């Protein structure tokens, strides 16, 4: 099985103002003359991790990564004003133009797959290929699955769910999303942080195939927990700023673009049905359902993602 490429550091970083409120952190890695690719992180609000640079051959790719509005090193931190799916789609275009890139590969996982599809359907002429992992289409059933009492994920990870549930008083559990949102946006900073940690522990500890019900997960850092929890709740309350079934409805706009879809069979955060539905609507895409969970770092997912970026480099570089 393929593994990630070795660790690398950016050869250049940028600060890009996008409107009156937000400034993005953007970095470039790999070969400045290589095949351009942009990496779209998950969440919303999770920000970048250093291993995100490693899905691409650094000798053949010009790898562009950025912290989305309100996340990571972008500023202001956890800011929700002017923060929607369509602001982020515009940000991707602004980065492309700022860096003088004509067309590029778009790589996104989890929420990043949602954003990649939205961007590609808006600007298909700018996309050379798509690499999508952990498909999330933003549909109501997907939102309920992981976040609500009757959703389903609570039946699979009951120990971890109990901690997420018990943070909220019983009389408020008819809408866990709204209950957490009230705490994220209240005036009590200690409560805001505690709620963000509870939200992020539920998600962050549920990503991998080999699951530790008592593990702290991927989002234990308080800074990341706040941006992830606040941003996700904001987007989820607004149905991801998408029209019903929009990403499947508009698939004809991108069916000509080479695409690989990779999804873990045992992904509890984004159930495999979403990847299957996308593959059924888009039979030209190369769909791989593998023995893995949600995490991009699960070995079977790494294997397929690296193979996919290598194939696009063979085609275009």
Using CA of residue 121, residue 29, residue 209, residue 205, what is the dihedral sign?
negative
Rounded CA separation 25/15 (Å): 5
Please list, in sequence order, all residues whose beta carbon lies within 8 angstroms of the beta carbon of residue 26, skipping any fewer than 6 positions away. 13, 14, 15, 16, 64, 65, 66, 95, 98
Angle 219-220-222 from CA coordinates, rounded to 5°: 100
Cβ-in-10-Å burial (0-12, 13-18, 19+) of 155 comes to: exposed
Rounded CA separation 223/228 (Å): 9
Using alpha carbons, list the distances in angstroms from residue 245 to 81, 199, 213, 250. 25, 26, 33, 9
Two structure tokens written together for 56: 């691409």
157 closest CA partner among 211, 97, 82? 211
Rounded CA separation 73/83 (Å): 16
Distance of CA 11 to the CA centre of its chain: 24
142 closest CA partner among 317, 277, 42? 277
Q: Identify whether 267 is a catalytic site residue.
A: yes
Two structure tokens written together for 70: 């309100």
Q: Which of 294, 298, 303, 310 is catalytic?
A: 294
Q: Which of 110, 154, 274, 295 is catalytic?
A: 110
Q: Which of 67, 250, 267, 310 is catalytic?
A: 267
Q: Identify whether 110 is a catalytic site residue.
A: yes
Q: Is 219 helix (H, G, I), strand (E, B) or coil?
A: coil
- Length in residues, the chain: 317
Q: Identify whether 113 is a catalytic site residue.
A: no
Q: What positions carry a catalytic annotation?
A: 110, 267, 294
């Amino acid at each position: 099985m393929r593994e990630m490429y070795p660790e690398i550091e950016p050869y250049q970083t940028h600060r890009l103002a996008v409107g009156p409120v937000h400034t993005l952190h953007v970095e470039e890695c790999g070969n400045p003359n290589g095949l351009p690719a942009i990496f779209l992180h998950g969440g919303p609000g999770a920000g970048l991790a250093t291993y995100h640079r490693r899905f691409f051959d650094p000798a053949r790719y010009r790898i562009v990564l950025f912290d989305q509005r309100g996340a990571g090193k972008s500023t202001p931190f956890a800011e929700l004003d002017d923060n929607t799916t369509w602001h982020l789609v515009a940000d991707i275009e602004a980065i492309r133009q700022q860096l003088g890139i004509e067309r590029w590969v778009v790589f996104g996982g989890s929420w990043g797959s949602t954003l990649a599809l939205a961007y590609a359907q808006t600007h298909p002429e700018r996309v050379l290929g798509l690499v999508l992992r952990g498909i999330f289409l933003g549909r109501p059933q997907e939102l309920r699955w992981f976040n609500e009492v009757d959703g389903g994920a609570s039946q699979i990870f009951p120990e971890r769910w109990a901690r997420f549930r018990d943070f909220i008083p019983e009389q408020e559990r008819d809408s866990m999303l709204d209950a957490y949102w009230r705490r994220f946006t209240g005036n009590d900073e200690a409560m805001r942080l505690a709620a963000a940690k509870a939200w992020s522990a539920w998600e962050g500890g549920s990503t991998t195939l080999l699951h530790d019900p008592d593990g702290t997960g991927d989002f234990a850092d308080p800074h990341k927990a706040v941006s992830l929890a606040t941003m996700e709740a904001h987007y989820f309350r607004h149905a991801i700023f998408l029209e019903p079934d929009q990403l499947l409805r508009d698939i004809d706009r991108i069916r000509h673009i080479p695409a690989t879809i990779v999804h873990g069979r045992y992904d509890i955060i984004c159930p495999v049905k979403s990847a299957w539905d996308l593959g059924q609507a888009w039979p030209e895409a190369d769909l791989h359902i593998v023995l893995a969970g949600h995490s991009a770092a699960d070995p079977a997912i790494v294997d397929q993602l690296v193979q996919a970026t290598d194939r696009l480099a063979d085609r275009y570089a």
